[in-house]
Amino acid sequence: MLVHEFLERSAERTPDKVGLICGDQRLTYAELEASANRLAHALCARNLNRGDRVVLWLPNTAELVVSIFAVMKAGGVFVTMNSTAKADKIEYVVKNCGACALITSGRNAPIASDLLLDVDSLQSIIYGSPLPDEDTSSNSLSYDGIQEEYPDDRPEKVNIDLDLACLIYTSGSTGEPKGVMSDHSNLVFAARSIIEYLENVEDDIVINVLPLAFDYGLYQLLMTFKFGGTLVLERSFAYPAAVLQRIQDERVTGFPGVPTMFAVLLQMDLRHYDLSSLRYITNTAAALPTTHIEELRRTFPSVRIYSMYGLTETKRTLYLPPEQLDRKPGSVGIAIPGTEVWVEDEQGRRLGPGDVGELVVRGRHVMRGYWGDDQATSERYKPGALPGERVCYTGDLFKMDDEGYLYFVSRVDDIIKSRGEKVSPKEVENVLYSMRGVLEAAVIGVPDPILGEAVKAFVVVDGEDIDENTILAHCKAHLEDFLVPKYLEICSELPKTASGKIQTTGLT
Amino acid sequence: MSESTATDIENRVRGFIAENLLFSKNGYPHTDETSFLETGVVDSMGIMELVMFIEEDFSINIEDHEVIPDNFDSVCKVGSYIRQKMTSAS
């Protein structure tokens, strides 16, 4: 099965059912399919070949949903980027994956036009709404124009399930984002496995406030279209009250979130809302504090709460069956259906209960590696027991209890988890160092009751004309929102090791 | 109506966003009608900080259910909301 067949099969089975609610738009499966077909034809007409990459730099909109499926229908590979990503990162990704097309909002036209001139592989820009003020290039098209011009019949299938479906760029400890390659079979398997334990049915209505550039958000879309439910797609969680109202109005049954969102919700007066339609809540990206689990249980006594763990490199890895939540609130559970995991020491020996080691994952959700980075791929994905097989080394330390339930201990690397997103200290430090007058920089995570960890930067500057706001403005101009330091301290010097390397261990 | 004039309210809101959320030294670089959500001028954490600032600076109590795009998605909307709250409180 191919991933875009999730949409096609739902469109065949229930063409008139509303598959997507986004703002004021309510789109049926038939409408979504027709739109995706038109855009797929347009991409093919612009010479998209099998396996070509298309970068989607859009907020959570119907245009993004249609684009994801259109790229796959055309035989391409979609690459979703956070809409708050800045020009430097988009340029890096477009070049890194050799994208042939970019679909973005007209607001980004100045950046997109420059990329079209500078990046050889990039042949076309498609603008969603709002359209750019000036359309100067013959290589740019409008999403709306395509919808009027191209036919809505289904394009001929060109891929098999071993072909790539998407690249999801994720932060790494080197500071440069790496594109995790997922083939169709990886995504189909992972979606099927998650649907199995969440017990999703066609009547489920899932609300998604997470960016579709984040794999947790993306899978809400893919899974919902697979089981033929309805996805309520929100731009963000910026207005929690509006999200709660949406849950009430649309009778939402599934609510996926990250710890920051639940921390905010638990501070609110929820009595204004009828949330009785909720059947389940899921949490991943970082562990929920035990106190939050207890409060969520009290607030939503009849809702099934799933604590989960995963990494983009295998999508989802572990889930805690909700009936175990009261017994094992600190655990993130067991391997998802159809997969296996174990804890291993540095010599490659499997460890028993209580021993701390690296979590290793085996299954068809183990992705294909990092785009164009054989070294990083070979460090993360290593040969398994069977010939040709690869297993994923998560880089996270875990321990197991006597019943096989797993507990997260710590990360092997220095990645920070803030707002549920991965923050590479190196990526933030690189941006700090790119500022004139910054001599030294170090970035760490500090505990934060809402964010989980907050990003804190220590900077040594040359001269007095650089203040905190100047540095933060520079960060804001070059980094996505969640990467911008919440705290910044200008220091006279930073602690160093004997060899002169900056030492972050003593910083708080 | 309190002492705050319409311009004063918008000025204080613009000033807070510029200085504390955008870290800008050149004031608020958008129009008062610019949607925070559409353009990403203010992110989700920024909205929380803006709410706290308004509660403190204008001495008004903001209910959770009032923090919605209709009241908080642009300088213009925030200004109208503050005036409305101040009027109803006086």
pLDDT at residue B6, as a whole number: 62
Task: Check CB contact under 8 Å for B67 and A236.
Answer: no
Task: Check CB contact under 8 Å for A481 and B66.
Answer: no
What is residue A481's DSSP assignment?
G
A159: closest CA of chain B, how far (Å): 35
Domains of chain B plus CATH, in order, are 3-89 (1.10.1200.10)
A271: closest CA of chain B, how far (Å): 10
- Among A249, A276, A240, A241, residue whose Cα is nearest residue A232: A249
**B52 part of contact set with chain A, CB < 8 Å:** no
Residues 6+ apart with CB under 8 A from A7: A19, A29, A32, A33, A36, A69, A225
Pick A239's closest partner by Cβ from B24, B40, B69.
Answer: B69
A chain contacts of residue B40, beta-carbon cutoff 8 Å: 59, 83-84, 481
Task: Check CB contact under 8 Å for B40 and A241.
Answer: no
Q: Which residue of A has its CA nearest to B48?
A: A238
How sure is the predictor about B5, in pLDDT bands with cuts at 50, 70 and 90? low
**A9 part of contact set with chain B, CB < 8 Å:** no
Task: Check CB contact under 8 Å for A236 and B23.
Answer: no
Cβ within 8 Å of A, B 1-30: 19, 22-25
Residues 6+ apart with CB under 8 A from A412: A358, A395, A396, A397
Beta bridge partners of A280: A254, A304
- Among A430, A436, A427, residue whose Cα is nearest residue A482: A427
Q: What is the DSSP string of A126-193?
A: EEESSPPS----TTEEEHHHHHHHS--SPPPP---TTSEEEEEEE--TTSS-EEEEEEHHHHHHHHHH
**A503 part of contact set with chain B, CB < 8 Å:** no
**A469 part of contact set with chain B, CB < 8 Å:** yes
Task: Check CB contact under 8 Å for B69 and A242.
Answer: yes
Pick B47's closest partner by Cβ from A239, A269, A486.
Answer: A239
Beta bridge partners of A181: A167
What is residue B21's DSSP assignment?
I
Task: Check CB contact under 8 Å for A236 and B44.
Answer: yes
What is residue A46's DSSP assignment?
T
Residues 6+ apart with CB under 8 A from A295: A266
| Size of the A and B interface in Cβ pairs below 8 Å | 62
**A129 part of contact set with chain B, CB < 8 Å:** no
Q: At CA A187, angle to CA A186 and CA A192, rounded to 5?
A: 105
- pLDDT tens over chain A, length 508 residues: 999 999 999 999 999 999 999 999 999 999 999 999 999 999 999 999 999 999 999 999 999 999 999 999 999 999 999 999 999 999 999 999 999 999 999 999 999 999 999 999 999 999 998 888 876 677 899 999 999 999 999 999 999 999 999 999 998 777 789 999 999 999 999 999 999 999 999 999 999 999 999 999 999 999 999 999 999 999 999 999 999 999 999 999 999 999 989 999 999 989 889 999 999 999 987 778 888 899 999 999 999 999 999 999 998 999 999 999 999 988 999 999 999 999 999 999 999 999 999 999 999 999 999 999 999 999 999 999 999 999 999 999 999 999 999 999 888 778 888 888 888 898 899 899 999 889 889 999 999 988 889 999 999 998 778 889 999 999 999 999 899 999 999 998 888 877 777 888 778 8
**B33 part of contact set with chain A, CB < 8 Å:** no
- Among A121, A129, A16, A108, residue whose Cα is nearest residue A66: A129
Q: At CA A28, angle to CA A194 and CA A166, rounded to 5?
A: 45
A chain contacts of residue B45, beta-carbon cutoff 8 Å: 419, 451, 481, 486
Q: At CA A170, angle to CA A168 and CA A173, rounded to 5?
A: 155
Q: Which helix (H) or strand (E) holds A370?
A: none
- Residues A27 and A6: their CA atoms lie apart, in Å, by 16
Task: Check CB contact under 8 Å for A235 and B47.
Answer: no
- Residues A205 and A279: their CA atoms lie apart, in Å, by 10
- Residues A3 and A186: their CA atoms lie apart, in Å, by 9
Q: Higher confidence at residue A171 or residue B50?
A: B50
Picking from A235, A239, A299, A467 by the largest number of B CB atoms within 10 A of its own CB, the best residue to mutate is: A239
Burial of A294 (0-12, 13-18, 19+ CB in 10 A): middle
Q: Which residue of A has its CA nearest to B46?
A: A238
- Residues A59 and A206: their CA atoms lie apart, in Å, by 18
